[in-house]
Structure 1
């Protein structure tokens, strides 16, 4: 089929097929030659996003295990301005150190969320047209 299409594209200057004389007059006549192609990704290509809460050390360990196994984690945390104490900031520091050990990333989103990503995920800030 590809060869016939290339012949049609080349034209009728002695080295191709004359479209007017071609036995195929419309697309419907090609449909019986269409090959099905898998449109869904393989299971290995799937990236899961897990949502959880991180309020203490055990929650932090659970979130880190999820990231280490290749998941993206969005974690609800105590409000950094109103509810977080020094102990929680220490937990955040330890989490950041652990994520960096296996080349992941930890980002604080607003005052109440964390985004933890494995090493195969990159997060880039989108710059709008007015920003430099």
Structure 2
């Protein structure tokens, strides 16, 4: 994707709310220039205090360290508030980034094809 002066031009976040969870699906690039958009969307979802917040990062084309930090901070907030954060990483670039950093084992990672993300980890 080409760079844009409008950070929302390279990141789209789709939000779906269910009775037992809120899901944010991120498309495009999660990097320093798109972080404000992603951070605002995560904060808005957290403000609703869903029992489970699912961050679906599988559709991302690119993620950098600022995106990784966003996930770790969201996990911290969920833990502090007694809620659950689940992450879909897929099998591409995003998964490799989290694997290389040794974070996959520290996160509640779910597969797109898996059952109910509101169930027990």
Tell me the TM-score normalised to structure 2 length. 0.41
- Quick check: which one's strand share is greater? 2
Higher relative contact order (CA 8 A, sep 6+): 2
User: Is the radius of gyration larger for structure 1 or structure 2?
Assistant: 1
